[in-house]
Amino acid sequence: MRIFLAAAILIFCTSLKAQSQPGYEVKATTDFKNAKMYLGTYYGKNKRLSDSAIADANGLAIFKGNTKLPQGIYFIVSPKYVILFELLMDEKQHFSLAYDSTKPGEIKFTGSPDNELFSDYTIFLSKVSPELNALQQQMKAAKTAADSSSAAKQLAAKAGELTTFRNNIVKNQPNSLLAKLLEIAKVPERPQMPKRADGTLDSLYPFYYVKDHYWDSVDFNNDMILHTPFFDSKLDEYYKYYVSPNPDSIINEVNYMMLASRENNDVHTYLLGKFTDKYINPEFMGQDKVFLFLFQNYYSKGDTTWLNEKQRKYIFDRAYSLMANQINEQASPLELSDTSGRALSLYNIKAPLTFVAFWDPHCGHCKTQIPRLDSFYTAKWKNEGIKILAVCTNDAVVDDWKKFIVDNKLNGWYHGYETPQKKAELAANKQPDYRQLYDIFQTPSFFLLDENKKIIAKGLSLEQYDELIAAKLKSLPVSQ
C-alpha cells in the first residue's frame, strides 16, 4: 500500500513539475537545416509571428521563452514564410516534435498528449476533407434529382462521420485543449420545428434556438479564443445571420460581449477594435450609431491607452462628426448665402421632405451625380412638393458654382454656400461648421429630412433615395 502511495505521489509530483515549468520550449526538428524558422499563431483574422529560431545542421530549432505563450493554435513557418503545419499550445509548453516533409500529415510529438490527439485529428481530417469536397462537387454537377439525392445522402453520411469523430474527442477527452477548441468552433445544429398547441409548426424556433446557444461554449474572458482561425469568422457569421441590422439590436449584442470580456484585456481590446472598424464607417445606413455607443461608453471614458495618437485622433474626430447627424435626430441648422448673397436658412424651407446635397463643382463625381439628382427632381419629386437645398462646399470657386447651376438648369432648387466671413465667425466663436455637423469629408453627400427637419436617411444612392421617398410619400397624410 505504501509503495502504491509513493508511486502515486511520485507521478503526481512529476506531473506538477511538468505543468509548473516556467516559460515555453518547443524543440522542432524539420527538413530545414542551418536556416531561420518561425513559430506563429492566429490572432483573430490575422496571423502573428511569436518567435524565431535558427535550425542547426540536424534541422533542430528550439523556440524558447521565459513567459508562457497564450494557449491556442500555433504553426511552424519555413524560412520562406510558408506555414508547414499547425500545433496546439496548451498548459504544457515544453515538448518536442519531428516533421518530415515527405509525410506532412504524420508529425511525431513527444511530451504533449494534446498534440498527439491533435495529430490524430488532423490525419483523420486530411482523409475525410477531400471526400467531402468531392461529394459537394458531385452534388453541384448532378443532372438528375436521383443523382443529387444520392450525393446528398453520401455527403450527409460522410459529414456525420466527421461529427462523430469530433464528438468522441469532446466526450472522451473533455479536458483536452482540442476538445475545448472544437466546442468553441461548433455552431449549434438547428433542431426540428416543434408543434404549437394548435398543431402548427413553430418555424422560428430553430433560428432562436441556434441564436440563444451560439456562444454557450465560448468564454469571452479567455484569450485562447483569439488564437484560433475560426473565432473571428464565427463572430462575423453571428452578426450577419443572427443579429438584426437595426443599430439598437446590434448595440445590445455588442454591449453583452464587451461586458462579458471585461476581465480579459486582450479579448476586450480586440472586440472593441473589431466593432469600431466595422461600425465607424458601416455598410448599412444608421449603424454608425453603434460606433457612437462604443465611443461614449469606452473611448470617451479613457479606454484609449492601446491606440496610437493618430488612431485616437481619428476616432475622436469621427465621433464628433457623427454625433450631430444621426438618423431620426434633428438636422443641424444651415445658415448660408444664396447665389445673390441673400441669407438662406434650412429651417425656413417648408416642405414635406427636404433633400440636402453637399457638392463641389470641381468634383468629378459631383459633375455626374448632381445632374442625375435634377433628373429625379424634375421627373418626380418637384410635383410632390419636395425641396432641394444644394450646398456648395468650395467657397473658392463661387463663379464656377454659379455657372454650373445655370449650365445644367438646376432650377427650382435652393442654392447656398458658407461665406469665408461666416466660417471665420464660427471659428472665432469655437463653433463647428457644417462639415463637422454633417460629416462632410467627401462629395457629394446627401441627406433626406422630414417636414420637421429630422434626418430620415443619409449615405444612400440616388436610386435608393428615390425608392425611400416614394415609400415616405405614400405614408404621409393626404392634405385636405
**pLDDT digit string, tens, across residues 222-249:** 999 999 999 999 999 999 999 999 999 9
The Cα 403–Cα 397 span in angstroms is 10
Secondary structure element (H or E) that encloses residue 398, with its range: helix 398-407
Helix intervals (H) in 173-246: 177-185, 205-213, 231-241
Percent of the chain scored above 90 by pLDDT?
81
Q: Tell me the CA end-to-end span of the chain in Å, nearest whole number.
A: 101
Which of these, 184, 272, 191, 282, lies nearest to 233 by C-alpha position? 184
Identify the CATH number of the domain defined by range 335-475.
3.40.30.10
Q: Per residue in 418-435, pLDDT tens? A: 999 999 999 999 998 999
Instruction: Please report, for residues 84, 111, 114, the alpha-carbon distance to residue 91 in angstroms, rounded to integers and kept in the order given.
Output: 23, 12, 10
What does pLDDT average to over the chain? 92
| 376-403 average pLDDT score | 96
Split at pLDDT 50, 70, 90, the class of 155 is: confident
Instruction: Please report, for residues 54, 248, 313, 454, the alpha-carbon distance to residue 319 in angstroms, rounded to integers and kept in the order given.
Output: 47, 17, 10, 20
Instruction: Please report, for residues 64, 70, 90, 224, 231, the alpha-carbon distance to residue 23 in angstroms, rounded to integers and kept in the order given.
Output: 7, 11, 12, 17, 26
Q: Per residue in 438-455, pLDDT tens? A: 999 899 999 999 999 999
Cell reading at 77: 513557418
Asked if residue 14 has pLDDT above 50, the reply is no
| pLDDT confidence of residue 235 | 97
Cell reading at 263: 476581465
Split at pLDDT 50, 70, 90, the class of 158 is: confident
| 382-401 average pLDDT score | 95
Q: Output the DSSP codes for 331-396.
A: PPP-EEE-TTS-EEEGGG---SEEEEEEE-TT-HHHHHHHHHHHHHIIIIIGGGT-EEEEEES-GG
- For domain 20-111, the CATH class is mainly beta
